[in-house]
Amino acid sequence: DIHLTQSPSFLSASVGDRVIITCRASQVISSYLAWYQQKPGKAPKLLIYAASTLQSGVPSRFSGSASGAEFTLTISSLQPEDFATYYCQQPDSYPITFGQGTRLEIK
């Protein structure tokens, strides 16, 4: 199984801050990685797929990158609606796996 480790698990930040969340895969997964945002009581929402492609309708302050087995999600300037939990996912190797999540809260 491909294990995904997100860091940090919890992050406290302020509106306007630049935030970086990291997802490290236990083995090389090429560029097959997605990022989701989940707010309380809601289904996850796709933000980025193929490591760096922004899903249609997602604000450009979200971006993704990859370097080997390490992937990052960057939010360039936090907005109030960005406080949520973020998950990475590898969609291509069975079993499909998710990171444990990063909870982003308002400082």
Are residues 34 and 46 in contact, defined by beta-carbon separation less than 8 angstroms?
A: yes
Q: Say how far residue 65 (Cα) sits from the centre of its chain.
A: 10
Q: Is 50 in the site for other proteins (CB under 8 A)?
A: yes
Are residues 41 and 30 in contact, defined by beta-carbon separation less than 8 angstroms?
A: no
| Pairing status of strand 97-98 against strand 85-90 | antiparallel
Q: What x/- string results for residues 68 through 87 when contact with other proteins is judged by CB under 8 A?
A: -------------------x
Q: What x/- string results for residues 1 through 30 when contact with other proteins is judged by CB under 8 A?
A: ------------------------------
User: Which positions touch other proteins (CB under 8 A)?
Assistant: 32, 34, 36, 38, 43-46, 49-50, 55, 87, 89, 91-92, 94-101
